[in-house]
Structures are given as structure tokens and as C-alpha cells.
């Protein structure tokens, strides 16, 4: 069978093959897009009281912030880690607002050289919040330059060379560094140990996502039925960013094809057109599962082989597609490769082909 036909069969008849799947933006991709940044400013909560979910994290932050205020000291350095789209940047902004401090955001990849960091650190005022997103992507030299700034609130300059080399210490105003990462395992031990507060953000349950959808709809001025909010929440893969993105797509559909009100029927039809099924899987997710089930008879199949079949990048599949499928129990990852579970067979409606584990019995 030719490659385009094989891909068309894996994707399904509703997903006509025009170009590689990965070239189009996935609506269920948890990573930030330009549209998310534009709408994020208006949809983000303005206080901890408006923030939905992560109750343990929020409560611990409340205690730490209150204690720092009582002592008249800046908050200890904070590290947030967890999957993308769960609100790490939002929490950092709320901490700055709660402290009454300036919020200075940046990201790890933009700090390429120590001089990029020096300009920011020397401009910070007492108690300011310095937020570094994707902090695990800091360069090695920049990271080492950050150590004395976090620990001793000073930066070390080396002037001259050889026998005439001298180290000058430049004092900094006390600030709070908040780091966010989706890959805590990639942080070096010396950097991780310099954070006094470390919090993990987990996926949201559907009831909390439903509250987020209803609040966002209110902010956008879109009337929405309770069943519709529940439907959008159940397909949002436990991620507020995806929930808000799905809501915007459903809103567009409701305004063009209906009277502007989001009913459950409108939400279901709009999400079906976007290729998002009742469990939050999109076309690439289903193609991934179908490849293992049909092409490799349930597995085990190596990620490189699956990527070659789908003409996708292996890293994209590992970082974007696999995490949710693993979390929801559609696939298992073994030393010999990926295997489809019984749930994947049921979801795809495939019968007559038992998973590989069962065939061995």
C-alpha cells in the first residue's frame, strides 16, 4: 500500500490527507500559542480567590506569602514543575500581585549569555518577582552565573586575565526568582537545591475544568449551558489552556452556525469538526494508536518505527502525543517498545485482534 493511502487509512475518512499532520497546529497541543498569549491576559484570574484548582499548591503558597509579609522579607525562590498548560505562569503572576511587587517575566532560551542576565538582575527592585519560564533550558554558563545571585544576592565579575585576574562582587537587591519547567528531571541538582519552595502542578479533574470553562465563557461574554461546559471540560485533557482553546473554537462555531449560545449539541458538533472525540483524542492521537494496533498488531513497536509510519518527528510524538495516551492508559511503554492496551482497541472499535499480551497466553 502506498504511503499516502496508508496514512489516509490511519487517519480515517474524515481526515483527508493534504499535508503531514504535524504541520498543522493541533488544537489539543498544551503548549502556548500566539492566540493563547493574546487571550491569556483577559482569561487569567486576577487573584488567588479566582484561581481554580491546585488547592494544595495554592494553600501552601498562601502560607509562605503571609509568613514572608509578616517578616518583611522577600518570598523564598519558587519552582513550579509539571505538564504544560496547567497555570505555572498564572501562579507566578498571582504571587507578584499578592506581594505587591513588580513582575519581570522571561524564558530560559532567551538568556543566551551572562550579560543578558546581568541587565535584568541589576534592574530589579527590592522584593521584585523575576520569573523564568522553561528554566531547564538555561545555558550552563548562564546557570552558574545565576547561583550567587539566588544564594547571596550578588553577581561575580571577573576582570583582566591570568595573573592579573580579579573578581568583583556586585550586590543585588533581594528578589524572588520563580522558575517554571515542564521537565524537572533536566534541572541540575545545584539549581534545584537553591529553590526554597518547590511545587508540582498536576492535571485538573473535569469538575474543575468545567468551572474554568464557565468562568472563561463569562469573561468572553458567551452564554453557555451547563451540559456544554461539561462536554468541553471532559475533552480538555485535564489542561486549562486546552479547555480555553476549545471554548474559543466552539464560540466561533456558535456565532456563525447558531444564535451565539453554546448548547451541548453545538459544542459536540463543533468539537467533532475539530477532530476532538469524547475522550479528548484528536486525529494524530488516533493515528498513533491505529498505527500500533493495525500496522504493528498491537506492538511492541519502537517510537522510531511509529514516527516513520506517520512521517512525524519522533520527539514530537514522545513529547506531545504520548504523555496523554500513557496517562489515560491507551498505551504502555516497555523496554521493547510501545504496546496498545485493551482500552485503545475499544476506543478505536477494532475487533478480532487481541492485544499482543493476550495473544501470548
* Catalytic residue numbers, as ranges: 88-89, 133, 182, 241
175: three-class secondary structure by DSSP: coil
Q: Among all chains, which residue has been given the C-alpha cell 518577582?
A: 129
| Nearest Cα to Cα of residue 358 among 342, 338, 345 | 342
* CA-only gyration radius of the chain, Å: 24
Measured in residues, the chain has a length of: 361
Cα distances (angstroms) measured from residue 332 to each of 74, 84, 134: 45, 21, 27
CA–CA dist 220, 229 (Å, integer):
14
| Nearest Cα to Cα of residue 24 among 312, 306, 231 | 312
Q: Which set of grid coordinates corresponds to residue 318? A: 514522545
CA–CA dist 108, 138 (Å, integer):
5
Q: Which set of grid coordinates corresponds to residue 279? A: 475522550
Amino acid at each position: 500500500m502506498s504511503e499516502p493511502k496508508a496514512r489516509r487509512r490511519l487517519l480515517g475518512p474524515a481526515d483527508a490527507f493534504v499535508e503531514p499532520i504535524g504541520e498543522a497546529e493541533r488544537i489539543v497541543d498544551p503548549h502556548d500559542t500566539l492566540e493563547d498569549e493574546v487571550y491569556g491576559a483577559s482569561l487569567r484570574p486576577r487573584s488567588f480567590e479566582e484561581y481554580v484548582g491546585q488547592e494544595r499548591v495554592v494553600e501552601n503558597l498562601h502560607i509562605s506569602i503571609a509568613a514572608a509579609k509578616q517578616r518583611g522579607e522577600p518570598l523564598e525562590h519558587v519552582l513550579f514543575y509539571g505538564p504544560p498548560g496547567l497555570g505555572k505562569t498564572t501562579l507566578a503572576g498571582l504571587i507578584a500581585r499578592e506581594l505587591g511587587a513588580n513582575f519581570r517575566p522571561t524564558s530560559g532560551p532567551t538568556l543566551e549569555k551572562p550579560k543578558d542576565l546581568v541587565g535584568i538582575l541589576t534592574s530589579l527592585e527590592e522584593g521584585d518577582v523575576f520569573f523564568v519560564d522553561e528554566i531547564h533550558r538555561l545555558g550552563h554558563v548562564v546557570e552558574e552565573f545565576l547561583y550567587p545571585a539566588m544564594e547571596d544576592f550578588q553577581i561575580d565579575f571577573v576582570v583582566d586575565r591570568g595573573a592579573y585576574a580579579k573578581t568583583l562582587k556586585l550586590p543585588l537587591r533581594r528578589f524572588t526568582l520563580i522558575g517554571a519547567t515542564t521537565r524537572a528531571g533536566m534541572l541540575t541538582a545545584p539549581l534545584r537545591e537553591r529553590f526554597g519552595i518547590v511545587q508540582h502542578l498536576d492535571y485538573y479533574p473535569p469538575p474543575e475544568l468545567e468551572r474554568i470553562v464557565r468562568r472563561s465563557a463569562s469573561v468572553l461574554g458567551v452564554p453557555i449551558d451547563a451540559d456544554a461546559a461539561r462536554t468541553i471540560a471532559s475533552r480538555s485533557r485535564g489542561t486549562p489552556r486546552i479547555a480555553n482553546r476549545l471554548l474559543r473554537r466552539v464560540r466561533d462555531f456558535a456565532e456563525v452556525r447558531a444564535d451565539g449560545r453554546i448548547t451541548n449539541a453545538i459544542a459536540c458538533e463543533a468539537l467533532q469538526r475539530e477532530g476532538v472525540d469524547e475522550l479528548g483524542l484528536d486525529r494524530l492521537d488516533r493515528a498513533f494508536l491505529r498505527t500500533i494496533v493495525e500496522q504493528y498488531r498491537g506492538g511492541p513497536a519502537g517510537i522510531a518505527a511509529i514516527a516513520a509510519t506517520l512521517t512525524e518527528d519522533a520527539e514530537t510524538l514522545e513529547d506531545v502525543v504520548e504523555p496523554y495516551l500513557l496517562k489515560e492508559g491507551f498505551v504502555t511503554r516497555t523496554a521493547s517498545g510501545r504496546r496498545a492496551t485493551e482500552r485503545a482497541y475499544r476506543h478505536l472499535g477494532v475487533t478480532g485482534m487481541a492485544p499482543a499480551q493476550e495473544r501470548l497466553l
